[in-house]
């Protein structure tokens, strides 16, 4: 609760939270706000925005409602972004903790694997993975996570190595605490916060990667995404630029919102530490 108040006290946090709260509400209530399949042909093709009250943001080449696409696209973007980031963080934490605690050969092996994944650009990895396995939402989530878990893994390991050298860990050993209890109670809780602080960047990157995959036609063809809408609008970019501009704006607002919220959270948490 105190963190929440501090978060709202930072301008980044307040703006970011407001943006994301709106988006989350839209995503959550998409079926209510815009009932029916957003991919169905709803009216005349290429209706200009603000000209027909039935289609406030116009229609695309096939006569699909742009606003409905945006609303349902928010669902895909947020869901895929969050799921991919959660998967990447979970993978990174597991690998980083194993490497940091075990040390020795396992550490070497795991970290060479992390190196391998870090050298290949995440987007190429996702691209290759989806091309091979085929586009569907779970595959896209996994593909994005594969390209994003290396950073949290490396940070987790570094944190474990640094925290385990602190005096309070030595004090716990001197007190005769069991090594498992030391790992779970003394080290782990102090390893997590900086790694979780990465999550905003990972979510933002995951949303962008999802959009890029969809833009290249590698998203799930059965759901609307902002990326596929931008790609669709590109064909008529000269005559009807709004088809690409509206989903583009939605994408930018989402990523900026996530980023601001992350900044705000970091400041709120570090503020708490400094004030204590």
Partner 1 sequence: MTLLVAEGLCKRYAAGRGVTALDGVSLHLSPGETLGLAGASGSGKSTLARVLTRLAEPDTGSIRFAGEDWLALSGAPLRRRRARMQMVFQDVLGAFNPRATVASALEDPLRIHAVVPKGERAREVAALLDRVGLPAAYAGRSIREVSGGERQRIAIARAIATHPALIVLDEAVSALDVSVREKILELLVTLQEERGIAYLFVSHDLSVLAAVAHRIAVMEAGRIVETGPTSRVIADPQSPAARALVRAVPRLVIE
Q: Which residues bind partner 1 (CB under 8 A)?
A: 166-168, 170-178, 185-186, 189-190, 276
Token pair listed for 17 = 């939270």
Residue 138's nearest CA partner among 220, 70, 201, 205 is 220
**Contact partners, residue 136, CB within 8 Å, separation at least 6:** 220
Q: Which is nearer to partner 1, 53 or 176 (CB)?
A: 176
Q: Least distance in Å: CB of 6 to partner 1?
A: 16
Rounded least distance, CB 185 to partner 1, Å: 8
Closest separation in Å from C-beta 165 to partner 1: 10
Q: How far is the CB of 191 from partner 1 (least distance, A)?
A: 12
Q: Which is nearer to partner 1, 106 or 171 (CB)?
A: 171
Burial of 178 (0-12, 13-18, 19+ CB in 10 A): exposed
* Tokens describing residue 64: 């699909």
CA distances from 244 to 23, 32, 107, 239, 256 (A): 19, 25, 46, 11, 18
CA 66 to centroid of chain Cα atoms: 24
Extract the tokens encoding 215.
Answer: 């833009």
CB of 18 to partner 1, least distance (A): 31
Q: Which is nearer to partner 1, 1 or 276 (CB)?
A: 276
């Amino acid at each position: 609760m105190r963190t929440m108040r501090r978060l709202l006290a930072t301008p980044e946090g307040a703006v970011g939270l407001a943006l994301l709260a709106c988006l989350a509400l839209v995503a959550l209530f998409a079926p209510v706000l815009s009932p029916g399949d957003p991919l169905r042909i709803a009216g005349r093709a290429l209706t200009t925005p603000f000209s027909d009250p039935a289609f406030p943001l116009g229609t695309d080449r096939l006569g699909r409602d742009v606003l409905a696409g945006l609303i349902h696209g928010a669902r895909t973007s947020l869901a895929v972004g969050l799921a991919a980031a959660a998967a990447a963080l979970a993978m990174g934490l597991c690998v980083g903790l194993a490497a940091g605690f075990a040390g020795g050969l396992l550490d070497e092996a795991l970290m060479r694997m992390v190196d391998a994944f870090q050298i290949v650009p995440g987007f190429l990895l996702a691209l290759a993975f989806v091309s091979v396995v085929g586009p569907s939402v779970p595959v896209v989530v996994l593909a994005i996570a594969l390209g994003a878990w290396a950073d949290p893994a490396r940070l987790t390991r570094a944190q474990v190595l640094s925290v385990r050298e602190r005096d309070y860990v030595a004090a716990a050993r001197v007190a005769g605490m069991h090594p498992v209890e030391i790992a779970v109670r003394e080290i782990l809780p102090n390893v997590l916060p900086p790694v979780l602080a990465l999550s905003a960047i990972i979510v933002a990157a995951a949303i962008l990667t999802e959009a890029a995959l969809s833009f290249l036609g590698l998203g799930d063809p059965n759901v609307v995404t902002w990326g596929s809408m931008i790609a669709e609008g590109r064909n008529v970019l000269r005559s009807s630029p709004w088809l690409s501009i509206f989903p583009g704006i939605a994408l930018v607002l989402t990523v900026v919102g996530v980023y601001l919220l992350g900044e705000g959270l970091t400041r709120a948490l570090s503020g708490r530490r400094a004030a204590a």
